[in-house]
A and B are shown apart, each in its own frame.
Chain A
Amino acid sequence: MHSVPGGPFDTQQGQLTAATRANLEAKYGLDEPVWQQYLNYMSHALRFDFGIPYQQPQTTVAALIGRTWLVTLQVGLLTIVVAFSIGICAGLYAAYHQNSWIDHLVTFCATLGVTVPNFVIGMWLILCFAVARSWLPLGGWGTSGACLFGRYFCTDWILPVVAYALAPMAIIARYTRASIVDVAGEDFIRTARAKGLSEVALMRRHVLPNAQIPMVTALGTEIPNLITGSIFIETMFRINGLGKYFVTSALNRDYPMIMATFLLIALLWGVTYMLTDVAYTVLDPRIQFSRRSRG
């Protein structure tokens, strides 16, 4: 991080005088050797003191992340619910009507959903629903537009979640379809069907459990991505979340924020991996991690 060119205090129009730069670096402890900065940081981090972001010196990193991540989490969880439910249903449907027009439609839509970037989708959604016709608010998260049932559902949730969920939906649909098709072609499925097992029971007891392993891996990867937010969605739809800080911290060389956000990412991924590994053993009891394979 420190070897990346450019520092946090370079500005556009005038350059800082050498003296000012020296003052700033002393103020933020950047004039110490890197290893010492690292030790300082870790000792503070263990006490949950993550420092003060250069971008917003009035607050602490912990407070900033706490405040903004709460919003991003809401967006992410809602997106997960929407993307997973629609994605899995579409994938299941396509798998069971393999090679029909529905299957091709799902594949085609999945392709589009992934290739059209979400800022283009977002812009068009805003244009269609918020500018050309004022059906939905232009942005905000619970702050503008109508909220029904006392903040349990707000209309300004609709556009950002739709824009954000399209790509994951596409990915989930395709993985689901492929995993199910993969398992459904196995011999033991044909045997079970020949033995007279109904489709539903077949699905529940034989297909799904075996298809879930690759699904869990792929889908599990989506979750940390979604709950850490997207800078495009958040800036375009005026959501005051954490997503933009991942990018702006790097670009502004805001070292405390960079360290903290990456700690957060590492934590999230670590938990995700742990949970997926646990899920493997739950879904397929034959899986063992410790036994060495012989031969």
Chain B
Amino acid sequence: MPNRQVACLILLVLAPALAETTVGGRHLSADAAPYARQVLRVPCDNTRNEVTFDHAVSVYQRYGCVQDLFSDTLVDLDSLYRPEPAAAESWSVADDGVTWTFRLRPGQMWSDGTPLTAHDYVATFRLCASPEHAWDFAWFYSFIGKGGLRNWDRIVAGEMPPDSLGVTAVDALTLQLVTEGPFPAMPSAMKFGYTLQKRALEEFGPYYNNDPATSVSSGPFVLTEFDPGYRIVLSANPDYTGYRPPLLQRIEGIYMSPATYFLAFQRGEIDLVGHEQLTPADFATIEAEPTLQANYLRHYGDFRTDYILFDTFSPPFDKLAVRRAFAHAVDREAIVAGIYGKMKAVAAHSMLMPGFPSADTTGALADLQRFDCDRARQYLAAAGYPDGDGFPALEMWMRGEPPATAAVYQASAASIAQCLGVRIQVSNKDGRVFMDALNARPTRLQMGAVSYGMDFLDAANLLGVWMSGGRHSWSDSTFDHLVTSAGAMMGQPEVRDRMFRQAERILVDQVGGVFIAHRWAGDLMKPHLLGDSFRQPDAKGIAGRRWGDDSLWGDMYIGDRQ
């Protein structure tokens, strides 16, 4: 009897402490809400077309609100966007510059009790390359370095079997990737190194995660409830042994229309809203209210730049003077201040946003496309169109942009039209019609306004899209040479950096595109959503979630609400 009483007493004393540990055994901090209330509620877009949770199954059709939580990537990116160990604990490259070896952290497990091995990664890469699967991100592994992963292109085309792919498992914990040409940014690129489970793939096919009964996870969360169109619930994975054990008990994804995200946030139904779903009216409300403003955490996002592109192979944009006239005719500062809003963007004079590697932070490139209406008119007159006389009427296409972005592009067109006296109409085309016209050879897109964000953190990425034969109808052989060589250069970071800067100067000076603005991303969060990784400003004073920083899932918790 007394033993029982003592036991009860001990339990009573320990109970509060016991309640404050997660299923993974971590202790919650003093300002955290009890574990039962560690629930993150996120909005899911009910207008999107989504089929899978996993990057390796489809990139553009993932359940965007709760994607990629069922495995860890090989690397994660730190606050300076450098690769740091995640599922892989170390990596190295051989002397030939093309053979990369990643060593997996030992002891990682799948939620069904089986160990995570390099064979899972191999099976995943082979799936991505297989012609039957027809992965929508397949272009990426052709694009890295010169030639991409070994045999990738030939396998995707069906000329070679998937097991000839340059991705092999040396042993259970060692993964080897071979590229066609040297690619120094490979570790960064492995931010996309997600994996599926080989056994589940073979047994249930690539969509095995869409059913809680067959879903397996090596990541911090497992699928508990799946009702697409209504709700998705993920629970903390009690068997997780990776680098980011979660403090949250549950993530709930609630489906709703993006037009009502902010309303739901104000009503307390969800805990965070991304900047892309915040309308200008919402931003006006945020700026007016100090609590909201303080909880809108800005960050670089994917260093997205808005710009205007041309068909430089046909008149009238084959003349450099015309392009320069257009570049000097856009009043970026006023557009960013008046229409975009300082919270959402900063004026751009080049492709790389300050903060990105090899970006111009000294303003050396600012003069090349600076707003100067007189100079613009001089250029246009020099090209043979004084005061815009004789200049053909233009139609600028946008790619299915939401109203806020469309307003910025329209303003850019208006700025050019008003300064130069040319006629520009703007048309917000359906995304597919736009890409169809852009990718046609020869291109049918005379003038368009788009944005591009990075896929991996290296100038080779954002400058690489400007190379000849790519999506942009502009070509400069010096530029191509610089970017290709620098992209493949191993070691010698200063030389590499210099070459990228030279290349960017050519791009801006020869007006491959007219650059309008760099975007600030951001998230509006509830005050009770806490976590040092996004609440503490980094060395540059930027707080907020970082692109590529998935370690925040081990850091995020719900504070005790007042």
Contacts and interface: CB of A to CB of B under 8 A. Distances in A.
Main secondary structure of the interface of A (DSSP, over half): loop
B527 to A, nearest CB: 19
Contacts of A58: 51, 207, 210
B254 to A, nearest CB: 8
A253 interface: yes
Nearest to A143: B230
Contacts of A130: 263, 267
A138 B49 CA distance: 22
A5 B436 CA distance: 7
Interface string A116-131: 0001000100110011
Interface stretch (A17-25, A215-223, A283-291): A17-25
Interface stretch (A162-170, A180-188, A244-252, A267-275): A244-252
A15 B435 contact: yes
A196 interface: no
Interface string B442-485: 00000000001101000000000000000100000000000000
Nearest to A7: B432
Contacts of A150: none
Contacts of B439: 15
A127 B281 CA distance: 14
B432 A253 contact: yes
Interface stretch (B19-27, B71-79, B131-139, B331-339): B131-139
A138 B269 contact: yes
Nearest to B266: A131
A58 B228 CA distance: 12
Nearest to B136: A11
Interface stretch (B96-104, B150-158, B164-172): B150-158
A74 to B, nearest CB: 15
A143 B86 CA distance: 39
Contacts of B229: 240
Nearest to B139: A14
B156 A131 contact: no
B389 interface: no
Contact of A248 (B49, B132, B432): B49
B433 A5 contact: yes
Contacts of A18: 157
Contacts of A11: 60, 136, 435
B163 to A, nearest CB: 18
A55 interface: yes
Contact of A140 (B157, B230, B267): B230
A41 interface: no
B55 to A, nearest CB: 14
Contacts of B51: 55-58
Contacts of A252: 49
B267 A134 contact: yes
Contact of A6 (B153, B256, B266, B436): B436
Interface in A117-175: 119, 123, 126-127, 130-131, 134, 138-140, 143
B107 interface: no
Nearest to A140: B230
Contacts, number: 125
A12 interface: yes
Interface residues of B, number: 47
Contact of A10 (B157, B432, B455): B432
Contact of B431 (A10, A19, A22, A138): A10
A16 interface: yes
A238 B60 contact: no
B471 A138 contact: no
A265 to B, nearest CB: 21
Contacts of A236: 257, 259-260
Contacts of B132: 23, 27
Given A6-B430, A6-B433, A139 B134 contact: no
Contact of A238 (B131, B143, B255, B455): B255
A123 B263 CA distance: 10
A210 interface: no
A125 to B, nearest CB: 11
B280 to A, nearest CB: 15
Contacts of B60: 11-13
Given A17-B142, A24-B134, A127 B210 contact: no
A131 B256 CA distance: 15
A93 interface: no
A10 B135 CA distance: 12
Contacts of B140: 14
B425 interface: no
Contact of A138 (B143, B210, B256): B256
Given A17-B139, A56-B51, A131 B263 contact: yes
Given A16-B139, A57-B51, A138 B432 contact: no
Given A143-B230, A238-B46, A5 B432 contact: yes
A23 B267 contact: no
A12 B471 CA distance: 12
A139 B261 CA distance: 12
Contacts of B432: 5-7, 10, 251, 253
Contacts of A15: 139, 435, 439, 471
Interface in B108-166: 131-132, 134-140, 142-143, 153, 156-158
B155 to A, nearest CB: 9
Contacts of A240: 46, 229-230, 255
Nearest to A28: B134
B256 A238 contact: yes
A75 to B, nearest CB: 14
A248 B257 contact: no
B14 to A, nearest CB: 38
A60 interface: no
Given A10-B436, A12-B399, A58-B210, A244 B263 contact: no
B207 A131 contact: no
Contacts of B430: 6, 251
Nearest to B432: A6
12 contacts: A6-B432, A16-B139, A17-B138, A20-B138, A22-B157, A55-B49, A139-B260, A238-B255, A238-B257, A240-B230, A244-B47, A248-B49
Interface of B: 46-47, 49, 51, 60, 131-132, 134-140, 142-143, 153, 156-158, 207, 210, 229-230, 255-257, 259-260, 263-264, 266-267, 269, 399, 430-433, 435-437, 439, 452-453, 455, 471
3 tightest Cβ-Cβ pairs between the two chains A and B:
A6-B432, A19-B157, A240-B229
Given A235-B47, A240-B229, 12 more contacts: A17-B138, A17-B142, A19-B156, A20-B135, A20-B136, A20-B138, A130-B267, A138-B263, A235-B259, A238-B257, A240-B46, A251-B430
